[in-house]
Amino acid sequence: MFEQKSSGKRIKFFRERAGLSQMDLELAIGASSGSLSRIERERVNPTKSTLINIVYATKLNTEEIASLFGIDINKLNCLDPILSVILSTLDLDTILDLVVNELVLKIGYIASAIFLLDHGNLYVRGLTASDISKKVFLHLDKPLDQLFFEIDSNKQNFLSKALEENRPILTHSSYKYLVPLVTKKVADKIQTATGDKSNLLYPLIIGKNKIGVIVYVKKVFDDFAEDMITLEAVTPKIAIAINNALKYKSITGKINYALT
């Protein structure tokens, strides 16, 4: 298990292991001169975006990523506080934000996306906010929430397959689930820009109710086998929270989910 250290000491350890000087790392993550020194001496706390950039620059594994966000991935109960908050809210946008911007980072992933099913179409409804994600937007010709496709007409898409077969699907090629949201050429450009290497498409299903798919992203080639106990425990709770929010919306009309 990774030795627990303060965040500044962990960053220094990862930087030195990667053979980078403070200036090297500052240049790699686009930080101002002297910022790494202040972070490593714990004079300032790094932002979430800075941590994600450091993860990319120093090539951390899942456990090391989780350590930067203050969690031991071998202890599922460490995720209970954030899961409790997710399960206790009925606001869909809040749930999606907490999942892609808080929960997945604590698990040890640098990115995640959520696709929700509405009237036979799959819509992009959540994406981890980071400098890396901004690179995605550069290749899109429309806003993220306007990207959707009909699942029955696109059964070869891996998101459709995950829902149809009710099982997680692994791919190392982003176009397998991004087409026809975008063209293959654009999908390949996005994968090159973000550096994504492994994507696990996990269906969000409760009983016979198909809600959508969450995509867990890694920057290294991996089969997610060591993570499945965690994901099998966490993902159904995400589905429950989203389903509760959608039910609340249908009763009260207070959540504007339908994008059609």
Local mean pLDDT, 10-residue blocks, the chain (260 residues) = 62 91 91 91 86 85 76 70 94 96 89 95 93 86 90 96 96 97 95 92 94 94 87 94 89 47
With tokens 């450009």, the residue in question is 189
- Report d(CA 109, CA 61) in Å as an integer: 9
Is the residue at 68 inside a domain? no
Q: Which among 120, 84, 114, 90 is positioned nearest to 101, based on CA atoms?
A: 114
Whole-angstrom CA distances from 32 to 26, 157, 180 are: 7, 42, 39
- State whether 175 and 100 are in the same domain: yes
Q: What is the pLDDT of residue 75?
A: 59
Number of domains in the chain: 2
Is the residue at 13 inside a domain? yes
Q: What is the pLDDT of residue 6?
A: 64
Is the residue at 190 inside a domain? yes
- State whether 125 and 236 are in the same domain: yes
Angle, helices 7-17/48-58, rounded to nearest 10 degrees: 30
Q: What is the pLDDT of residue 4?
A: 41
Task: Output the CA torsion sign for 21, 23, 26, 32.
Answer: positive
Q: What is the pLDDT of residue 36?
A: 92
Q: What is the pLDDT of residue 253?
A: 59
Helix (H) or strand (E) holding 112: strand 111-118
45 DSSP 8-state letter: P
Q: What is the pLDDT of residue 106?
A: 86
Q: What is the pLDDT of residue 256?
A: 44
Is the residue at 70 inside a domain? no
* pTM assigned to the model: 0.76
- State whether 127 and 168 are in the same domain: yes
Q: What is the pLDDT of residue 255?
A: 44
| Bond preceding residue 143 cis, omega within 30 of 0 | no
- Report d(CA 7, CA 39) in Å as an integer: 8
- State whether 173 and 241 are in the same domain: yes
Task: Output the CA torsion sign for 219, 38, 3, 17.
Answer: positive
- State whether 81 and 56 are in the same domain: no
User: Which residue range(s) make up the domain with 11?
Assistant: 7-60
